[in-house]
Copies of this chain bind each other. A is one copy, B any other.
Amino acid sequence: MTERKSPRFAARTSKEEIETGLSFQPKFDADGLIPAIVTEAGSDTVLMFAWMNEEALALTIETRLAHFWSRSRRALWKKGAESGNLLKVVEMRTDCDQDVVWLRAEVLGEGHACHTGRHSCFYRSVPLGTFPAGALPLAKAEDL
């Protein structure tokens, strides 16, 4: 991927406009990326978390299929292009600062949003209430 010559999204304006206005002015970080939260349409269970560059965000909006930027592979990544587990985006939202997007999506194919073959990437929980000195154990979340 070569870097885009011209931005495809509106420039950031004032804090007030960004927080209360109805113009999409997404903030990309120093690496040109914006975080994306994906939840399951209907239940809102969190399925995965990934990053988008301008191109990935524009393609997701246009095609309704989730695209991301793979930071490890440094490449545009159409989620499920190989596995068939595409993410069909039902709704997209942005937050007050417009520096995050939230996708409500249906997982197509076999229904695996996680590359490990699980429905959701969040299949382990962190125990709460104490912070022991040694390593903190995780627990398997049985509902996912």
Contacts and interface: CB of A to CB of B under 8 A. Distances in A.
Interface of A: 8-10, 19-24, 35, 37, 39, 43-46, 48-49, 58, 61-62, 64, 89, 91-97, 100-102, 114-116, 118, 121-131, 135-141
User: How many copies of this chain?
Assistant: 2
DSSP class of A's interface residues: helix, strand, loop or mixed? loop
Nearest to A116: B96
A61 B138 contact: no
Nearest to A24: B136
Contacts of A35: 35, 49
A47 B113 CA distance: 21
Given A46-B44, A49-B37, A64-B129, A24 B93 contact: no
A48 B95 contact: yes
